[in-house]
Structure formats: C-alpha cells, structure tokens
Amino acid sequence: MSDRISGILTPNITPVDAAGRVDEERLRGYVDWLIDRGVDGLYPNGSTGEFVRFTAEERRRIVEVVVQQADGRVPILAGAAEANVKETIDACETYGAMGVRAVAIVAPFYYRLSAEGVYAYFREIADAVSVDVTLYNIPLFASPIDVGTVIRLASECPRVVGIKDSSGDLPNMMRMIAAIRPMRDDFTFLTGWDAALVPMLIVGADGGTNATSGVVPELTRAIHRSVVAGNIPEAMRLQYQLLPLFDAMISLGEFPEGFRAGARSRGWNLGPGRVPLSESQRDAVSRTQREIDALVAEVADLDESLVLPPETIEKIVQRVMRQLGSA
C-alpha cells in the first residue's frame, strides 16, 4: 500500500509583527484557519515563508510552532534547507524529532552546481538523516534538479520519498512519474506551480504545495478533489478561476509580497515581509491590493455561478500553453 504524501499542502506565509519578529500568536491562528478550510498539510519554511530571510533559530521555532498548533491534524512538510550539508542535516534531524512527516530540501543555492554536484549533495544528506526527504526543485532560485538526478536518487536512496517541483515543466513531471512510479510506488510527486495545478494532477502528480492555497484554500482543495473524483471539466473551470489570482499575486513586487496582499484580502494582516520596499513599491502594492481584493472576492466562496466568459477562458488557455511550451 502506497504511503505517498498527497493533497494540497500550504507553504504558509510567516507572520511578522511591527517590530519585525515572528508573530507566533498570529501564526497559530493562521494555521488553525488553514486547517479549518481543508488544507491537507502545511509546509513551513518554504519560499512563500521567506525561509532565507529568517535566522536558523527562527526557522526552527517556526516549525516548532506549526507542529504544535497542527497537533497531528495534518502532516507537516518542513523546509530544512540551510547553507551547507552539515547544517542541513542538523535541521533535518531537529525537525524529524519534532514529528514532521518529512523535510523538503531545496538544491544548493547561490553557487550553481552541476547535476553531479546536486546528486552528491542530496546523496550525502539522504544517507545521514533519519527522517524522510523530499527534493525541492525551484530553478528560479537554486541549482536545478534534473530528471536524471531525481531518478538516480529515487532508485538509490530509500529516504528520498518525493519531489516538490516548482518549475512548471509538465513534460519533465511526466518523465519522472513514468520512470520512478514503477519502481517506487511510495514516491510522491508534488507541483509547486499553481498555474499548472490541474494539468499536473491529471498526469499523475499526487498534489501540490501551492502558495495560492494560503489565500484561497477552499479553491485549491476543490481543484484537487475534482481531479481525484474524475470531474476534469469542473477542475478546469476552477483552474481558470485560480489563474488570474495567481498571476496577480506572483507578479506583485518582491516575492511573496503579492501573497501577503492576498492574505489581507481574507482578513489576515500577516505583517510586512523581511525585505524592505521602496516608496514606489509600496504604492504598487496599494494599487494592486484592490485588484487582488476583487479577484479573491470572486473565488473565495466557490460560487457555482461564477463562470468566466468563453473569450476570457480562451485567452487564459493560450497563456497556459505558452507557459508550458517555454518551460
């Protein structure tokens, strides 16, 4: 029987108070809100949580608070990437002792590594830790994890139990699934690119770690459940509602500022990010906030009457195809 991680896991925003500290009380409330609205898991210390902008001590405390507040209601996939192998292994063991389901480790960042270097990095970690590991491929920010490396690690390392892929590369997801699933039925495939959530689920991904789920968890859950139920037309209808909101949030200022704006649309003021914004950037946030507010209002309640006109759907389809073709 497969024990794959599945469903929608939220890479939650890290709330920050007026003094710039992690707002633990608000984080606990936000965790409850997400779980109450049906997320299948939580992913603290992800890119949306700005993990690189917090100290190692803060990162450990963030995971501890999320694990405590979740209290076994949903599994936790904890981001455990640090600056080097030793510190990453230490973080993995710390989070494993806290009771997380698995850790997620981004490929080395800043220094661009070859495929062989990426393999050696993950192999050393996988051989040393006592907690399950998911690979995190996000070529925008870190050394890419190519298909061959994923297959190699899956075949050699029992502790490597899955991959979170945020490249949006649908053909590569299919190549990985085709090669790995016959030999590792326990291996999890998660997509981190919200714009292709339905296509990724249709080709066999088990779920997603999607920043949009921290804003409209009802919508991303409904998408996943529709695909699981085989109702692809409904899933695509919902995907077309998600796409304009995702585009608006991902394009706003310094990532993940747009998703903080989305959270404000749901009544969650999670404070400022850890990166300073110029006056013009703050003005842009204020202007775009109104657009995001309107988009969130359209989809948050999953009103069945909200169907996009055909001409809008056609434009969105063309945009998706261009994104997939250039991935």
Tell me: the pLDDT tens digits for 116-147?
Answer: 999 999 999 999 999 999 999 998 888 999 99
Give the three-state DSSP class for 232: helix
Q: Against a cut of 0.85, is the pTM above it?
A: yes
What's the pLDDT at 281? Answer: 87
What's the pLDDT at 2? Answer: 59
Per the structure block, which two tokens stand in for 47? 């890119």
What's the pLDDT at 3? Answer: 86
What's the pLDDT at 317? Answer: 47
What's the pLDDT at 306? Answer: 37
What's the pLDDT at 325? Answer: 55
CATH 3.20.20.70 fits 7-231, yes or no: yes
Element (DSSP H or E) covering residue 225:
helix 217-228
Q: Does residue 119 carry a catalytic annotation?
A: no
**pLDDT tens digits, 33-63:** 999 999 999 999 999 999 999 999 999 999 9
30, 136, 240, 315: the catalytic one is: 136
Which of 125, 121, 129 has the alpha carbon at shortest distance from 100?
129
One-character DSSP codes across 85-138: HHHHHHHHHHHHHHT-SEEEEEPPBSSPPPHHHHHHHHHHHHHH-SS-EEEEE-
Q: Does residue 164 carry a catalytic annotation?
A: yes
What's the pLDDT at 303? Answer: 44
One-character DSSP codes across 8-74: EEE-----B-TTSSB-HHHHHHHHHHHHHTT-SEE-TTSTTTTGGGS-HHHHHHHHHHHHHHHTTSS
Domain boundaries, given as residue ranges, for the chain:
7-231
The tens-digit pLDDT sequence of the chain (327 residues) is 358 999 999 999 999 998 989 999 999 999 999 999 999 999 999 999 999 999 999 999 999 999 999 999 999 999 999 989 999 999 999 999 999 999 999 998 888 899 999 999 999 999 999 999 999 999 888 899 999 999 999 999 999 999 999 999 999 999 999 999 999 999 999 999 999 999 999 999 999 999 999 999 999 999 999 999 999 999 999 999 999 999 999 988 788 999 999 999 999 999 988 888 888 888 888 888 989 999 999 886 654 433 344 444 445 445 545 545 554
What's the pLDDT at 99? Answer: 97
121, 164, 240, 315: the catalytic one is: 164
